[in-house]
Amino acid sequence: MRNFVKVADSVDVLPLLLAVAQRRHLWNANPIRTTHPGTAHAEVDDILLRFNVVPDNDPAKVIDDTECINFPALAELPEARALIFGLMAKVQGERLGRCMITRLKPGGRILPHADAGAPATYYERFHVVLLGEPGCIFRAGDEQVNMRTGEVYWFDNTQVHEVFNNSAEDRVHMVIDIRTGK
């Protein structure tokens, strides 16, 4: 496969999944990705852990395309730090970018889109699957995968990609952008 590479499996994601379930108030506290006009992510719920805007949801306050700051949710979910920095070590990351947890309900869809600009070309995009069941299809370019719970993938987010959750469960991923030595 050219657009997806499985970099780990059998990762213990249960502590983070449980922590997220116990902190429902974190979902959509910062809806900048899901509410702007024309977003491909309108059906997604987010928990932003690190992002490149200030946490008051004002898109005019973009810090920089590559500079990200910690959001309060990261402090409330210390279980995420072990997964984030474990992955950073595994891929020999040099800089940490955006980190977010996304949820797509059964029957939901992320519309086709390709990420562009500095965040997509400066960072590598990784997905840590916190909950993934059969029937949830992630397509990038002419390839598709069914990412399962505990797997970690790199994927080329500059390719047109989309997600269909045809499973009976939520699809929950932690998305991590990491600058690597390439």
User: Which pLDDT tens digit goes with each residue over 31-50?
Assistant: 988 998 899 999 999 999 99
Distance separating alpha carbons of residues 79 and 95, to the nearest angstrom: 20
| pLDDT confidence of residue 60 | 53
Average pLDDT over residues 45-63: 74
Inter-CA distances, 53 with 12, 43, 70, 72, 101, Å: 30, 21, 10, 13, 16
Q: What domains can you pick out in the chain, each with its CATH number? A: 4-170 (2.60.120.330)
The pLDDT assigned to 127 comes to 98
Q: What is the pLDDT of residues 71-94, one digit of tens each?
A: 999 999 999 999 999 999 999 999
pTM over 0.85: yes
In angstroms, what CA-CA distances link 153 with 42, 61, 67?
Answer: 23, 31, 23
Q: How many CB atoms within 10 Å of residue 20?
A: 24
What's the length of the chain?
182
- What is the rounded average pLDDT for all residues in the chain? 93
Under a CB-based contact definition with an 8 Å cutoff, are residues 175 and 99 in contact?
yes
